[in-house]
Amino acid sequence: MSDKKPWDLDEDKDCIISDGSDDSDTDIEGELSMRYDKFCRNCLLRLNILISLLYSILDWDIFKYIDFNSVRAERSGILTDKLREFWTDLTISFDMLGCSCKFSITVIIEHKSYYDKYTLLQLLGYVVEYLKSKVKTNILGLPNVIPIFIYNGDKEIDIEEMFDNMFEELPKDTPADLREALTKLFNLTRPRYKPLFFNINEVDEETVEGCFEFILFIIIFKYKGDDFGVAFDHVIELIKEYRSTHKLTRSLLSFFLSVIEYSVGSPQVTEARVGKFSKAVDNEEFGGKMLTLQEKWKAEGIKIGEEKGKAKWKAEGKAEGKAEGIKSTAINLKQMGLPTNQIAKATGLSEREIENL
C-alpha cells in the first residue's frame, strides 16, 4: 500500500496554480501592498499548500473527491484596483470526481493578519459579487461557493459570534417585550452564514498534517514580534532535518526564496540568520538566487539586521498596519453603499478622507 499523501506531488508537476495570465507572478507581488497578504497569496497559489489547507478544513468525504488536476485560480473581478491593495481575494475552483457530469466548487479565500469585525461582511460581499458575475453565463444555476477565512491576528475571535457583533446593539433601556420581538425578527431576517475558518494561532505545527511548505507556512505566520526570530531559527532547523532525508525540488527552493523575501521585513531576521538559512538549504542554485536578492536589497538600501532601523521598522510597521486596516474597512463599507457619516463613525476617519478613498 502506498504511503503517498494527497499533497505529495510528482516532481515534474507544476506546483504553482495558474490564473490564466502571463504575468501571474508579477500580479502576486504587485497587486498587494501588505507584506502578509503578498506572502499568503504566494503560498496559497502553491498547489501542495492549498491541498494541505483543504485537507485540514474539509470533511474527508468531500476532500477525497476533489480533482486536484483541475484546480485553477480565477480572476474574479470582485475587487477594484484600490481594494486589491489591501485584500487577498483569492478565488480558486476545482472539479469534483465521481459525478456523471462536470460539477465544480469554488472557494473564495480571505486572509487577515489583524482583527476586523467586518471581515464576514467583506467575505459575503465577495460571494455575492462573484455569483452576480455568473448569472448570465451559468444557465444551469449559480456555482457553489465556499468562503474560507484564514486568520493570524493578535486578538482572539469567536467565529460563531462575529457576524452578530457587526450590528448595532439595542439601547439598554429597550422594553423587554420589544427586545425579545426584535431579537426574533433580526434572527429571522439578517443574513447569517459561517465561513470555513482556519485560525493559524490555534494550529499545532507539531501534529498538523500537510506538506513541508504548509508546516513552514504555519510557523512563519503563527509567530510575530520578538517571537519571530525564534520561529525563524526553528524553520532553519526543520530545513536541515528535511534536507537530510528529502531531495530539494525547484518548487521548494522557490518557496524558500519567498520565505526569505517575506522574513527580511522583520528586525528579528538578522544577516547572520539569513546566512544560517542559506547554509541550511545548501544548494548552489539557491545560493545564486540569494546573491541576486542581496544585490537587490543593497540597491534598495535594505540593511538586514541594522540596529538603527529596528525601532523605525517596528514603529512604521505598526502604524502602517493600523492605518491600512482602518482604510481597508472604510473602502469596503463604501463599496457596500453605507452612508459616509456612518463610515466615519465606524472608522474614525473624516468624511473628506472617506470621500477621497
Tens digits of residue pLDDT in 38-65: 788 889 989 999 999 999 999 999 999 9
Contact 86, 299 (CB under 8 A): no
Grid cell digits, residue 287 = 545560493
Task: Characterise 11 by phi-psi region: left (phi > 0), alpha (psi -120 to 50), beta (else).
Answer: alpha
Tens digits of residue pLDDT in 71-91: 998 765 454 544 444 445 688
Question: 278 pLDDT exceeds 50?
Answer: yes
Highest mean pLDDT among 135-144, 223-232, 249-258, 295-304: 249-258
Average pLDDT in the chain: 81
Helix segments in 244-350, DSSP class H: 250-263, 271-281, 284-299, 307-335, 340-347
Q: Is 51 exposed, middle or buried (0-12, 13-18, 19+ CB in 10 A)?
A: buried
Instruction: Output the pLDDT for position 2.
Output: 55
Q: Which residues contact 355 (CB under 8 A, 6 or more apart)?
A: 340
Instruction: Output the pLDDT for position 22.
Output: 46
Contact 357, 330 (CB under 8 A): yes
In angstroms, the Cα distances linking 124 to 127, 128, 198, 336 are: 5, 6, 17, 11
Contact 98, 120 (CB under 8 A): no
Tell me the pLDDT band of 198, cut-offs 50, 70 and 90.
Answer: very high
How many whole angstroms separate alpha carbon 214 and alpha carbon 207?
A: 12
Instruction: Output the pLDDT for position 323.
Output: 64
What percentage of the chain exceeds 90 in pLDDT? 31
Tell me the pLDDT band of 25, cut-offs 50, 70 and 90.
Answer: very low
Between 9 and 265, name the one with better pLDDT.
9
Question: 106 pLDDT exceeds 50?
Answer: yes
Tens digits of residue pLDDT in 109-128: 988 888 888 888 888 888 88
What number of other Cβ atoms are within 10 A of residue 29's Cβ? 12
In angstroms, the Cα distances linking 63 to 6, 134, 228 are: 10, 25, 33
Instruction: Output the pLDDT for position 324.
Output: 61
Residues composing the chain: 357
Considering all CA atoms of the chain, what is the largest pairwise distance in Å, rounded to the nearest integer?
A: 74
Tell me the pLDDT band of 306, cut-offs 50, 70 and 90.
Answer: low
C-alpha R_g of the chain:
22
Q: With b meaning 16 or more CB within 10 Å and e meaning fewer, what string describes 209-245?
A: ebbbbbbbbbbbbbbbeeebbebbeebbebbeebeee
